[in-house]
Amino acid sequence: MKALRFWGTRGSLPIALTAADVRGRVAAAVRAAQGRAFASDAELDAWLDTLGMAAAGTYGGHTSCVEIVTGRDEYVLCDMGSGLRPFGQRALARHGAASPQTYHVFMSHLHWDHIMGFPFFVPAYIRGNRVRIYGGHAAIEDALRRQSAPPSFPADFSLMGATIEFVHLEAGRHYDVAGLEVSLVAQHHGGDSYGYRFAEADKAVVYSTDSEHKLTHVDETVPFVDLFRDADVVVFDAMYSLSDSISVKADWGHSSNLVGVELCHMANARHLVLFHHEPVNDDATIDRIVAETRRYEELARTGAPLRVSAAYDGMEIAL
C-alpha cells in the first residue's frame, strides 16, 4: 500500500460552497495578506497553509469514497458515494477509454450516500473494464440496480458495459484482493454496516464509517480494538459530538471524535482520520473539531501519541 486518497468525505448528503462562502474566503485571505510579499509560489502555499480550511480551502462536499493506492495496476476503493464520480473522471483521463482497468470496491453499506456515485461512474459504462463490488450485504446488486432504474435515473444498470461482479464477504473471514489481506467486522448502523481492515506487509489501514460505538459492553468493543490494532491509519466516522451521539442522536448509527480517540488509543493505532463529516458543519466548525480532538487526544493519552486529522476531498496520506 502506497497511500490513501480521499475522493469524498462528507456524511449523508453532498454539499457545496456557495458564492458568498467563496467570496468570504477570498476577502479574508486578501485582508490577511496585506503588507506581505511572497518570493515564490512555495512561500505563498506555506502561508496559505497557516490560514486553515475555513479561510484557504474546504473540507469538501462529496460523500464517501476513499481510494487505497496499492502501487499495482488494479484500483481499490471503499464506497461509492458522490466522490466516485471525480475518481472515475481521473481514471478515465489517465488511461483513456480503450485501456481496460479493474476496480475493486468494498462497500460499508447500501445507504444512499454510499452508493449514489455509481450511476455517474463512467468506467462502469465502458466495455472491457471490470468492476468487482465486495460487501457483507446480500442486496448490493439489488440496491445498485434499483437506483439506476426508472424513475430514479435515466440510464439503466443494463447499459453498463463493464463486467460487473458482486462478491459476498463474511465478517470474521480473511480475503486476498489485489494483493491486500482484507477482513471485516459488522458494525452498529441501521441495516448494518461493515468496517474493513486492509493489510499488506507491515502496513494496515482501517476504513470504519457509519458505525456507532457505545463502548458499554466489552464484547462489542473488542472486535473494533482488534480491527484497529496497530493500524497506520484509521478512517473513522466522527459525524456527531459525543453529547449528540448519546442523546438526541443515539442509535442513529454514527460516532464521535472522542470515541474515535479512545478506540485508537486502546488499539495503539497511529493516525485517526475524522471522516463522514456532518453536512451542517462548515469548514470553521470542522477546523475547531480537529483542534479539540487533538487536545482531547493529549488529555486522554496514556501511551504513544496518536496523530489526528480531518479528511478532506483531495487529501492524500502516504503510507
Partner 1 sequence: MECSSKRFAEVTVATLSGKLDHPSAAALEAALRPLIAQGMVDGSPLVIDFAGVTYISSMGLRVLMVAAKAMRGHARRIAAAALAPTVAEIFAIARFNHVLEVFPSVRDALAALSGQAVAAYDAGAR
User: Can you give the binding site for partner 1, defined by CB under 8 A?
Assistant: 214-216, 241-244, 246-247, 256-259, 262, 292-293, 295-296, 299-300
CA distance 272 to 263: 10
- The distance of closest approach from Cβ of residue 292 to partner 1 in the complex, given in angstroms and rounded to an integer, is 4
Q: Which is nearer to partner 1, 33 or 242 (CB)?
A: 242
Q: Which is nearer to partner 1, 117 or 253 (CB)?
A: 253
- The distance of closest approach from Cβ of residue 166 to partner 1 in the complex, given in angstroms and rounded to an integer, is 37
Burial 38-71 (b: 16+ CB within 10 A, else e): eeeeeeeeeebeebbbbbbbbbbbbbbbbbbbbe
- The distance of closest approach from Cβ of residue 79 to partner 1 in the complex, given in angstroms and rounded to an integer, is 26
CA atoms within 13 A on the CB side of 56: 14
Greatest Cα pair distance in the chain = 61
CA distance 75 to 79: 13
Q: Which is nearer to partner 1, 26 or 291 (CB)?
A: 291
- The distance of closest approach from Cβ of residue 193 to partner 1 in the complex, given in angstroms and rounded to an integer, is 20
- Three-state SS across 50-76? CCCHHHHCCCCCCECEEEEECCCCCEE
Q: If we measure between CA atoms, which residue out of 278, 314, 318 comes closest to residue 83?
A: 314
CA distances 257 to 89, 124, 291, Å, are 32, 35, 11
Q: Which is nearer to partner 1, 62 or 213 (CB)?
A: 213
Q: Which is nearer to partner 1, 181 or 292 (CB)?
A: 292
- The distance of closest approach from Cβ of residue 238 to partner 1 in the complex, given in angstroms and rounded to an integer, is 12
- The distance of closest approach from Cβ of residue 75 to partner 1 in the complex, given in angstroms and rounded to an integer, is 36
- The distance of closest approach from Cβ of residue 249 to partner 1 in the complex, given in angstroms and rounded to an integer, is 12
- Contact 188/246 with Cβ under 8 angstroms? no
Q: Which is nearer to partner 1, 203 or 294 (CB)?
A: 294
Q: Which is nearer to partner 1, 175 or 296 (CB)?
A: 296
CA 208, 213, 215, 217 dihedral sign is negative
Helix (H) or strand (E) holding 263: helix 257-267
Helix (H) or strand (E) holding 23: helix 19-33
